[in-house]
């Protein structure tokens, strides 16, 4: 007999081929439990490439890090060699100029030919709305520290990143690869680049062009690298559906949920949570490396 309440399968069918807000988007743990056994949302843990493995001929090597929280300098001696370094946000604790300059100096010492950086929720001064309105509890609790910022004019802080390509809802072509970066994540504790789950975040994901090879976001999608110590799923439902149904990147790099560090796949996209810091902000996780064949020049 017909049921008044749609089954999850019906909800899934209703949205097939398009990305719309999931009716239970505010309950990511529940949504993942309804999805995780389906082939369309396959899930498998992946053993990453050992950084000591020589790069295959004709390949481009990517080195992924995230969530270094002012401790990136500790990686200087051990960071694997590669062509493209990617940092998926939270390189500072509050985005003060002194922190950003320190991180930029670290980048300047690295031999990697290309460096891609996005902001995370800790790069408070990079969030123009938050800095303009000054109504976040984070802004108020850091008011003294951020006085340094007002004098120096926060609008110029991203320009302190002279040793990398900073991506904020933007794409760059590097060695023939289309790489897109975005800092937004589901709201949590009123930090930078927080947005409500559902349409506000989907509006940002709708800016990602289809056909991107490497997607970089600060937060994880639902189900991949998003399990918190309290066993909740913190990932964004609409980021997962955008990745799986529309953008289909080869790799999706992120951090934010430090305890979600590691590599997984849905058999189409490889998902990398590259958090260097543990949940206790100890910078002890290893950078994650992957290789892609160099795109043929048409
Ligand atoms: P951060 O402050 O560096 O952005 O995040 C640090 C830690 O806060 C994460 O490793 C995770 O334990 C927790 N956290 C951050 N965002 C969320 C969220 O949206 N939900 C939950 N449950 N925990 C979060
Ligand atoms: Mn972090
Ligand atoms: Mn809402
Ligand atoms: Mn974060």
Best of 99, 188, 190 to mutate for ligand 1, by most ligand atoms within 8 A of CB? Answer: 188
Query: What is the Cα 94 distance to its own chain's centre?
Result: 18
Q: Judge whether 11 lies within some domain.
A: no
**Any idea what the CATH number is for the domain that residue 128 is in?**
3.60.21.10
Q: Judge whether 298 lies within some domain.
A: no
Q: Judge whether 275 lies within some domain.
A: yes
Q: Judge whether 9 lies within some domain.
A: no
Q: Judge whether 183 lies within some domain.
A: yes
Could you tell me the residue range of the domain that residue 153 belongs to? 24-293
pLDDT of the residue at 133: 86
Q: Judge whether 5 lies within some domain.
A: no
Q: How far is the CA of 36 from the centre of ligand 2 (A)?
A: 26
Angle, CA of 214, 217 and 219, to the nearest 5°: 140
pLDDT of the residue at 231: 97
pLDDT tens, the chain, 298 aa long: 344 454 444 444 444 557 999 999 999 999 999 987 765 667 899 999 999 999 999 999 999 999 999 999 999 999 999 999 999 999 999 999 999 999 999 999 999 999 999 999 999 999 999 988 888 888 888 877 777 787 668 889 999 999 999 999 999 999 999 999 999 999 999 999 999 999 999 999 999 999 999 999 999 999 999 999 999 999 999 999 999 999 999 999 999 999 999 999 999 999 999 999 999 999 999 999 999 999 887 6
């Amino acid at each position: 007999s017909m049921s008044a309440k749609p089954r999850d399968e019906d909800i899934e069918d209703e949205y097939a081929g398009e990305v719309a807000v999931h009716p239970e988007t505010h309950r990511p743990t529940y949504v993942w439990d309804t999805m995780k056994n389906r082939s369309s949302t396959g899930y498998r843990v992946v053993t990453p490439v050992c950084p000591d493995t020589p790069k295959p001929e004709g390949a481009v090597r990517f080195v992924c890090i995230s969530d270094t929280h002012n401790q990136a300098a500790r990686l200087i001696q051990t960071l694997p060699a590669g062509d493209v370094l990617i940092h998926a946000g939270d390189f500072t604790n509050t985005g003060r100029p002194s922190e950003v300059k320190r991180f930029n100096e670290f980048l300047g010492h690295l031999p990697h030919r290309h460096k891609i950086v996005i902001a995370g929720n800790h790069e408070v001064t990079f969030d123009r709305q938050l800095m303009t309105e000054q109504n976040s509890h984070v802004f108020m609790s850091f008011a003294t520290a951020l006085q340094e910022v007002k004098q120096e004019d926060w609008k110029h802080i991203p320009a302190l990143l002279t040793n990398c390509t900073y991506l904020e809802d933007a794409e760059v072509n590097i060695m023939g690869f289309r790489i897109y970066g975005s800092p937004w994540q589901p709201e949590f504790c009123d930090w930078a680049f927080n947005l409500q789950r559902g349409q506000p975040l989907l509006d940002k994901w709708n800016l990602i062009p289809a056909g991107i090879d490497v997607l970089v976001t600060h937060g994880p999608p639902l189900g991949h690298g998003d399990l918190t110590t309290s066993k909740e799923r913190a990932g964004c439902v609409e980021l997962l559906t955008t990745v799986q149904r529309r953008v289909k990147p080869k790799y999706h790099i992120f951090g934010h949920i430090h305890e979600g560090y590691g590599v997984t796949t849905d058999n189409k996209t490889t998902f990398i949570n590259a958090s260097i810091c543990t949940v206790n902000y100890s910078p002890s996780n290893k950078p994650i490396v992957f290789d892609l064949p160099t795109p043929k020049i048409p």
